């Protein structure tokens, strides 16, 4: 006959085995971590520009790329040129990614005009991407860059995406706009004016200086436009070089 002490040991071993099996089952049922997706870009040199240049020719999207989940995708499914403007489609989940220009830029003034073409809601969203560089994508979608937020009522916020960072916005954080919203109602054209000089970045929305961040990393890169499934239009995308 087993002694009481031996029986106690057997009970503890049985309990431990049950816990171990339960833990193994839970681990097996746990979702796999999201895959790490890298944005890989072909090598590009800084564009030597000495005079203002129109980044959109008003006719087509030659030279533009549409990127979804880190890979080039069919740009026709995301945007088209209509009546001299870039018309971004509004199909949530089917046009989520970003448009990107090929040149690496630094020390410049960028003018962009945009308008929402449908009723504005709390989720109406998009953005201008600055200093896009290769690296691990945020949420498997967004590149290393700074986003000038165009979201309804929040235009002028600056978001450090992925591993980008600034003194006022650590990686993944937002530097909120500094003044009351200066956007226009849906259907009216808004103007964003961005100044990039050295490691600082500032933005003006419809003539109101809304934000400035400093010590930005990276301090140069490509320019893009974030699409989040909401229809809007772009025009007058103009870059003027600044001295170092």
pLDDT tens by residue, the chain, 244 residues? 444 444 443 344 344 334 333 344 434 444 444 455 566 655 555 555 578 899 999 999 999 999 988 888 999 989 999 999 999 987 665 668 999 999 999 999 999 999 999 888 888 999 999 999 999 999 888 999 999 999 999 999 999 999 999 999 999 999 999 999 999 999 999 999 999 999 999 999 999 999 999 999 999 999 999 999 899 999 999 999 997 6
The residue among 149, 160, 227 whose CA lies nearest residue 182 is 149
Which pLDDT score is estimated for 111?
98
Answer yes or no: are the C-beta atoms of 202 and 195 closer than 8 Å: yes
38-241 classified as CATH 2.60.120.560: yes
- Torsions phi, psi for 19 (to 5 deg): -65, -40
Q: Where are the alpha helices (DSSP H) in the chain?
A: 4-29
Which pLDDT score is estimated for 166?
98
Please tell me the distance from the alpha carbon of residue 33 to that of residue 89, in angstroms, as a whole number.
31
Per-domain residue ranges of the chain: 1-30, 38-241
Please tell me the distance from the alpha carbon of residue 86 to that of residue 61, in angstroms, as a whole number.
8
Chain-centroid distance, C-alpha 44: 20
């Amino acid at each position: 006959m087993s002694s009481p002490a031996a029986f106690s040991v057997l009970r503890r071993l049985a309990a431990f085995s049950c816990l171990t099996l339960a833990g193994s089952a839970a681990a097996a049922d746990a979702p796999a971590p999201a895959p790490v997706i890298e944005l890989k870009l072909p090598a590009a040199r800084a564009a030597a520009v000495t005079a203002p240049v129109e980044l959109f020719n008003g006719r087509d999207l030659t030279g533009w790329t549409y990127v979804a989940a880190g890979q080039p995708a069919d740009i026709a499914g995301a945007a088209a040129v209509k009546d001299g403007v870039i018309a971004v489609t509004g199909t949530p989940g089917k046009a989520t990614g970003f448009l990107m220009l090929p040149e690496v830029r630094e020390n410049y003034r960028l003018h962009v005009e945009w308008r929402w073409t449908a009723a504005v809601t709390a989720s109406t969203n998009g953005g201008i991407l600055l200093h896009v560089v290769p690296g691990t994508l945020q949420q498997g979608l967004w590149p290393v860059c700074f986003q000038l937020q165009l979201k309804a009522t929040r235009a002028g916020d600056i978001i450090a995406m992925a591993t980008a960072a600034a003194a006022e916005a650590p990686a993944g954080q937002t530097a909120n706009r500094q003044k009351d919203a200066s956007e226009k109602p849906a259907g009216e054209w808004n103007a964003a004016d961005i100044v990039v000089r050295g490691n600082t970045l500032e933005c003006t929305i419809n003539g109101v200086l809304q934000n400035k961040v400093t010590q930005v990393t990276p301090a140069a890169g490509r320019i893009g436009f974030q699409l989040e499934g909401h229809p809007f239009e772009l025009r007058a995308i103009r870059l003027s070089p600044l001295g170092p």
